Amino acid sequence: MRQYKAEIVAVGTELLLGQIANTNAQWLSQQLAMYGINVYNHAVVGDNLQRVEEAFRLAQNRSDMIIVTGGLGPTEDDLTREAFQLISKMELVEDKQSMEKIELFFKNQNRTMTPNNRKQARVFKGCTVLKNNAGMAPGMKVELEGKTWFFLPGVPREMKQIAGEKIFPSIKELTGSNQIIKSLVLKFIGIGESTLEHKLKDLIQAQTNPTIAPLAQEDGVVIRLTAKEDSEADLDSLLNNTKTEILDRVGNYYFGEDEQVIEQVIVQLLANQNKKVAAAESLTGGMFTEKIVSVDGASAVCPGGIVCYDAKIKRDVLGVSAETIGSKGTVSEECALEMAENVRRLFGSHVGIAFTGVAGPTETEGKPVGEVFISISDGSGYQKVERFLFAGNRDSIRKRACVKGLEMIFNYLK
């Protein structure tokens, strides 16, 4: 069974300038993995004939399967065909069906077709033309010196249509393999990457199938499990057995998997417990509430919140006592506790959470930049307040405070 080394080459200066993200390569890699194809390289090259040719020569030398996206349009800077012609010496011809489709499009739009649109119908002689049902330029499959090339438009909907209908169905036949690859992402909050890795050190060192890869993210840590097998059932068994081993050690920090985010889990927990949460936010400025209300069904568990940035708002609207503000300050354990309790009462919720602190750039009330108090209060008399000292700039301190608040609410609801 032949093991293919795949490469994805994206053509377009707009990708290099950061004007658009290279989501095509991400999607193609994910799909190819499901068919047992390992992607070894991603390349991005601008609209320059010499550089595109160089990228293609490198791909031809090091990869078995090359998927090219972009550069098939009608303009002078669409150079994918020309660059591949330089390395392959293959003749370009006009595909009759594609040309008829392009002409019909302009006729139906009651527009005059400019001559450069004929370029979109040009294909390599002897190639397999991949019909584009979502746009005009067709895709192509070309064999060159034992290597398989696929050329796809850069427009995502067109690329996905051609890949889904024409490329992926032929891959099993091409590789002669039934093996598939599947990943499972486990998500954790409240534990650092180094600590998580230490607790799983022996499992990670002994990994074979599935592989175990810890990765730090802005809102927590994830572990990506990746397994290879010949059937979905065997894959699921491998992944679930390894997941069980991991959660036996660090399950207290686990909150979900794959596309789940912590706010979705919190909203579901609140709904299951028939509880509502309201937030009083000073330095986070509504960030926590925005996270919660971004989830479908949040209206049932979040009646609202209040941004109380100024001390007068904390006192006159939220009801924090003048004595607390005067003697302890707005950046204090006492103020955070009153904020959480008062916002709970004000909105008639079961749980209140409050954020107060110093995001910077300068200290406040003699408190250092990064000092943050987060408090939780509920109707049963439960109260909890924690002090943190976050490093970073203003934006990162605010974001870290929000993530820590989500963690505290999650742990409370657990």
The DSSP code for 366 is T
pLDDT at 4: 81
The pLDDT of residue 310 is 95
Residue 178 is predicted with a pLDDT of 67
Q: What is the pLDDT of residue 98?
A: 93
Element (H, E) at 383: strand 383-389
What tens digit of pLDDT does each residue of 255-312 get?
999 989 999 999 999 999 999 999 999 999 999 999 999 999 999 999 999 999 999 9
The predicted structure's pLDDT at residue 195 = 92
**Contact (Cβ atoms closer than 8 angstroms) between residue 225 and residue 239:** yes
Beta-strand (E) ranges in 57-200?
Answer: 65-69, 92-94, 122-124, 128-130, 139-144, 147-152, 180-188
Q: In 77-94, which positions are buried (b, 16+ CB within 10 angstroms) versus exposed (e)?
A: ebbbbebbbebbebeeee
Strand order in the sheet with 211-217: 211-217, 220-229, 180-188, 254-257
pLDDT for residue 207: 84
Maximum Cα–Cα distance for the chain, whole Å? 85
287 dihedral zone (left: phi>0; alpha: psi -120 to 50; beta): alpha
Domains of the chain: 5-175 (3.40.980.10), 180-257 (3.30.70.2860), 262-413 (3.90.950.20)
Enter the pTM of the model.
0.70
Report the pLDDT value the prediction gives residue 177, as an integer from 0 to 100.
63
Residues 162 and 168 sit within 8 Å (Cβ to Cβ): no
Radius of gyration in angstroms for the set of CA atoms belonging to the chain, rounded to a whole number: 28
Question: From first to last of its 414 residues, what are the pLDDT tens digits of the chain?
Answer: 567 899 999 999 999 999 999 999 999 998 888 777 889 999 999 999 999 999 999 999 999 999 999 999 999 899 999 999 999 999 999 999 999 999 998 998 889 999 999 999 999 999 999 999 888 999 999 999 999 999 999 999 999 999 988 988 777 777 666 677 788 999 999 998 889 999 999 999 888 889 898 888 877 899 989 888 888 899 999 999 999 999 999 999 999 999 899 999 999 999 999 999 999 999 999 999 999 999 999 999 999 999 999 999 999 999 999 999 999 999 999 999 999 999 999 999 999 999 999 999 999 999 999 999 999 999 999 999 999 999 999 999 999 999 999 999 999 999
What pLDDT does 291 receive? 97
User: Cis before residue 214, ω within 30 degrees of 0?
Assistant: no
Q: Look at residue 176 in the predicted model and tell me its pLDDT.
A: 64
